[in-house]
A and B are shown apart, each in its own frame.
Chain A
């Protein structure tokens, strides 16, 4: 194969193919950015949801957990924490999360440990709102089952 292709042809494939790929990708990016607000229910991002995202980030939750499948694989998926741990009941989920965060680290020898983050009740509430919002994102029905 390589004998029939000259350096000039190869260079043209690179410039032509590369340019084509950049244009296609840029076009798709623009369309995706337009669609994301609807798919993610952007209008439901309250101040509490936004603050919850900051709590999520400033405590590096993604260093152990996944969220919509992305992150570390040391601790459970949290994109569906609301249906899994709160049975889609906001009050129940918030009570559960507050209790859970307060109880860390669990005193079970050699179980993987979650640190104590010393979050304020308001921060826990923000975090819960963020996870509730996340669970409602339209993401092609992933994960496959409730186990995450």
Chain B
């Protein structure tokens, strides 16, 4: 570690991993409820489990991005972080607010939570992924602003690199588009339209800038390829991200009451959305092939390549499967959407967090050359368990989606099953999904274990 202030990344990484464990546990609970509706009911109804599951994901990714940034920015800027103290305060505020919000979800009915937090003063609750009480949303804004301030000041006062500037652009975008979470008009269509300004323009635009910058950083460090080359790839990737991703928001505007032209614009633009992810694969493998150094932390490079490949599969391939309007007409709002969501979030965003943690944590723990071979081998096992588990889960959900579409939507109305009957007919597949979910959890536990593997002492 070159700068002592990089140390502030550590609690962020650890907390992100704890939240990930929570996210998976709640996911499994939902998987059980899909099969046995009485499980945990009425103590924790499905909507609460889901809210905890998805909100933990968003918060853990924010913690992961923040940890990654605090680690990377001093090195890129060649100076200490502007205010390590602010970063630590931000951590505790965000962690406390996050825990309080989750407890709020679990302890009182949602309507009571809305009442307790004065939702009527500025109603923002009860929309998918943006279920947080308004006060929490305001807290998120403050936390993100303090984070951006810290990063911006560090970049301004230090060396400016392509990576740090693009990362910062992504962060400003993230902050800007979150503001649409406060706009909740009476008209549901208008509400839905701008809701996507947060959701799509986070995950399919601004977060991709952050993802690209983080990936580029780890590739520079683990391959030693020179910056000119890395920067060029990074620019191409994010150019394609914006060109395809902005108008690509249109693939959400097919059937929610928005004008008809989105059927064309959304289909065409979003058909190009796999391109930046495909470029990321070329990028990662090319850099690995042309590497100038053999870094001892091999598993970090594995995670980097894995992010590119699984991100492409989840976001690119599974996204493309149902992005064209004539196909989406039948797939919209089915388990196929869930399949895509799971592999895309895991492949692109959870895995980039793992990449950074895998690269940075050993250094923060005083092992500049990465963990020892035994720990890396355990980590490699966990990598494959999680990746195979997630792909298996996604394939199961894909099968569920196709069965649902066939039984409920493709048949003549006389033969078509209603929603609940079609779901009952799919239950075996949901069992398979649950089994792969358990595999993901076991993979994560194996990953945790890799932190505690003792190496045999080699005489120096």
Residues of A that sit less than 8 Å from B by CB = 2, 5-7, 10-11, 13-14, 17-18, 20-22, 24-25, 28, 31-33, 35-37, 39-40, 42, 45, 49-50, 53-54, 56-64, 66-77, 105, 109-117, 130, 133-134, 137-140, 142-148
Q: A45-B186, A60-B131 are in contact. Are A6 and B235 (CB under 8 A)?
A: no
Q: A58-B111, A68-B257, A70-B192 are in contact. Are A147 and B45 (CB under 8 A)?
A: no
Q: Which of B242, B259, B333 is the one whose CB lies under 8 Å from A73?
A: B333
Q: Which of B48, B125, B131, B254 is the one whose CB lies under 8 Å from A142?
A: B254
Contact between A113 and B42, CB atoms less than 8 A apart: yes
A75 to B91, CA, bound (A): 37
Q: Which of A10, A45, A56, A73 is the one whose CB lies under 8 Å from B334?
A: A73
Contact between B242 and A22, CB atoms less than 8 A apart: yes
Interface string of B123-141 (1 = CB under 8 A from A): 1011110010000000000
Whether a CB of chain A sits under 8 angstroms from the CB of B258 is yes
A71 to B332, CA, bound (A): 11
Contact between B187 and A36, CB atoms less than 8 A apart: yes
Whether a CB of chain A sits under 8 angstroms from the CB of B110 is yes
Q: Which of B35, B50, B189, B332 is the one whose CB lies under 8 Å from A69?
A: B332
Contact between A147 and B239, CB atoms less than 8 A apart: no
Which segment, of B142-150, B347-355, B416-424, faces chain A?
B416-424
A116 to B258, CA, bound (A): 33
A105 to B47, CA, bound (A): 14
A32 to B259, CA, bound (A): 6
A21 to B249, CA, bound (A): 11
What are 30 A-B pairs with beta-carbon distances under 8 A? Answer: A6-B232, A17-B239, A25-B249, A36-B187, A40-B190, A40-B257, A42-B187, A53-B188, A58-B125, A60-B51, A62-B47, A62-B128, A63-B47, A68-B257, A69-B255, A69-B332, A70-B333, A72-B50, A74-B33, A76-B420, A111-B37, A112-B423, A115-B45, A115-B109, A142-B332, A143-B333, A144-B330, A145-B413, A147-B418, A148-B419
Q: A21-B246, A31-B259, A39-B257 are in contact. Are A71 and B333 (CB under 8 A)?
A: yes
Q: Which 6 A-B pairs have the closest CB atoms?
A: A63-B47, A57-B126, A69-B333, A142-B255, A10-B235, A14-B239
A35 to B259, CA, bound (A): 7
A116 to B45, CA, bound (A): 10
Interfacial chain A residues near B28, Cβ < 8 Å:
none
Whether a CB of chain A sits under 8 angstroms from the CB of B408 is yes
A145 to B131, CA, bound (A): 30
- With contacts A22-B246, A112-B33 known, what are 15 further pairs, Cβ within 8 A? A11-B235, A17-B242, A18-B243, A58-B119, A59-B110, A60-B51, A63-B48, A69-B256, A69-B333, A111-B37, A113-B38, A146-B413, A147-B417, A148-B418, A148-B419
A21 to B109, CA, bound (A): 43
What is the minimal beta-carbon distance from B63 to any residue of chain A, in angstroms? 23
Q: Which of A31, A75, A137 is the one whose CB lies under 8 Å from B257?
A: A137
Contact between A36 and B131, CB atoms less than 8 A apart: no
A17 to B338, CA, bound (A): 31
Q: A28-B247, A137-B257 are in contact. Are A72 and B46 (CB under 8 A)?
A: yes
A40 to B259, CA, bound (A): 10
Q: Please, which residue of chain A has its CB at the minimum distance from the CB of B231?
A: A7
Contact between A109 and B38, CB atoms less than 8 A apart: yes
Contact between A77 and B189, CB atoms less than 8 A apart: no
Interfacial chain B residues near A7, Cβ < 8 Å:
228, 231-232, 235
Interface string of B248-290 (1 = CB under 8 A from A): 0110011111111111010000000000000000100010000
User: B36, B45, B189, B410 — which one has the most chain A CB atoms within 10 A of its CB?
Assistant: B189
Q: A14-B238, A17-B243 are in contact. Are A140 and B255 (CB under 8 A)?
A: yes
Interfacial chain B residues near A144, Cβ < 8 Å:
329-330, 409-410
What is the minimal beta-carbon distance from A28 to any residue of chain B, in angstroms? 7
Whether a CB of chain A sits under 8 angstroms from the CB of B41 is yes
A36 to B262, CA, bound (A): 13
A142 to B337, CA, bound (A): 16
Interfacial chain B residues near A143, Cβ < 8 Å:
255, 332-333, 409
Whether a CB of chain A sits under 8 angstroms from the CB of B233 is yes
Contact between B413 and A147, CB atoms less than 8 A apart: yes
Whether a CB of chain A sits under 8 angstroms from the CB of B335 is yes
Interfacial chain A residues near B337, Cβ < 8 Å:
73
A146 to B416, CA, bound (A): 9
A105 to B126, CA, bound (A): 21
Whether a CB of chain A sits under 8 angstroms from the CB of B34 is yes
A22 to B304, CA, bound (A): 29
A62 to B192, CA, bound (A): 12
A30 to B232, CA, bound (A): 34
Contact between B419 and A76, CB atoms less than 8 A apart: yes
A45 to B190, CA, bound (A): 12
What is the minimal beta-carbon distance from B131 to any residue of chain A, in angstroms? 6
Contact between B255 and A68, CB atoms less than 8 A apart: yes
Interfacial chain B residues near A22, Cβ < 8 Å:
242, 246
Contact between B256 and A68, CB atoms less than 8 A apart: yes
Interface residues in B74-132 by Cβ distance below 8 A to A read 109-111, 114, 119, 123, 125-128, 131
Whether a CB of chain A sits under 8 angstroms from the CB of B193 is yes
Interfacial chain B residues near A58, Cβ < 8 Å:
110-111, 114, 119, 123, 125-126
Contact between B235 and A73, CB atoms less than 8 A apart: no
